[in-house]
Amino acid sequence: MSQILEYSEKVMDHFSNPRNVGEIENPSGVGTVGNAKCGDIMRIYLDIGKDRVIRDCKFKTFGCGAAVATSSMATELVIGKTVQEALQVTNQAVMEALDGLPPVKVHCSLLAEEAIHAALWDYAQKNGIEIEGLKEPAKDIEDTEKFYEMSGE
Ligand code: FES
């Protein structure tokens, strides 16, 4: 029997009116990850200044409503932070900012964190810098064709 999940008002707000959806042209870093549990995909674009502060962040996802809401909140949380500070925007921090998620949806919130890390890794690689504590993403999807195939572009 399926169960009706309860979402906080903040989750509903970010789901119905997601912030920072879209792409950034010539981004400083891009990260695309897949969710091991449901197979959904998330891509994060970062625009980072010379001072290493994140000026803009946008996302595209094929994930569910919880993935949309968590990514929307995550983009808001990382904009204005340095690349180092952005590492503190964990899925836990994003869930807290949204007043929680139903336990079966926690895996959805991982997409944003992992995609941000993958985008930061891409930025670090391109610029030959090291971001302390940032690990190489295990799930960055090299095959971007699949992403565009799914988005019909
Ligand atoms: Fe796939 Fe939520 S079910 S991201």
What pLDDT digit, counting tens, does each position of 116-125 carry? 999 999 999 9
38 lines ligand 1 (CB under 6 A): yes
Across the chain, mean pLDDT equals 90
CB contact at 8 A, 77 and 124: no
- In angstroms, rounded to a whole number, what is the distance separating the alpha carbons of residues 51 and 72? 24
Lowest mean pLDDT among 53-57, 66-70, 98-102, 133-137: 133-137
Ligand 1 atom nearest residue 63's Cα: 4
61 lines ligand 1 (CB under 6 A): no
Pocket test for ligand 1, best of 32, 64, 106 (most atoms within 8 A of CB): 64
Of 114, 137, 24, 28, nearest to 67 (Cα)? 114
67 lines ligand 1 (CB under 6 A): yes
Active-site residue set: 38, 108
Q: Give CA angle at 44 (41, 62), nearest 5°.
A: 25
What pLDDT digit, counting tens, does each position of 18-73 carry? 999 999 999 999 999 988 788 899 999 999 999 999 999 999 999 999 999 999 99
What pTM, to 2 d.p., does this model score?
Answer: 0.89
At 20 the three-state DSSP class reads coil
Q: Given the structure tokens 């569910």, which residue do they identify?
A: 64
Ligand 1 atom nearest residue 65's Cα: 2
Q: What does the DSSP 8-state code read for residue 108?
A: H
Q: Given the structure tokens 């690990």, which residue do they identify?
A: 135
- In angstroms, rounded to a whole number, what is the distance separating the alpha carbons of residues 52 and 54? 6
Neighbours of 31 (CB within 10 A): 25
56 lines ligand 1 (CB under 6 A): no
Residue 31 token pair:
């990260």
Q: Which residues pair with 47 in a beta bridge?
A: 56
Cβ neighbours for 14, distance < 8 A, ≥ 6 positions apart? 68, 69, 70, 72, 73, 98
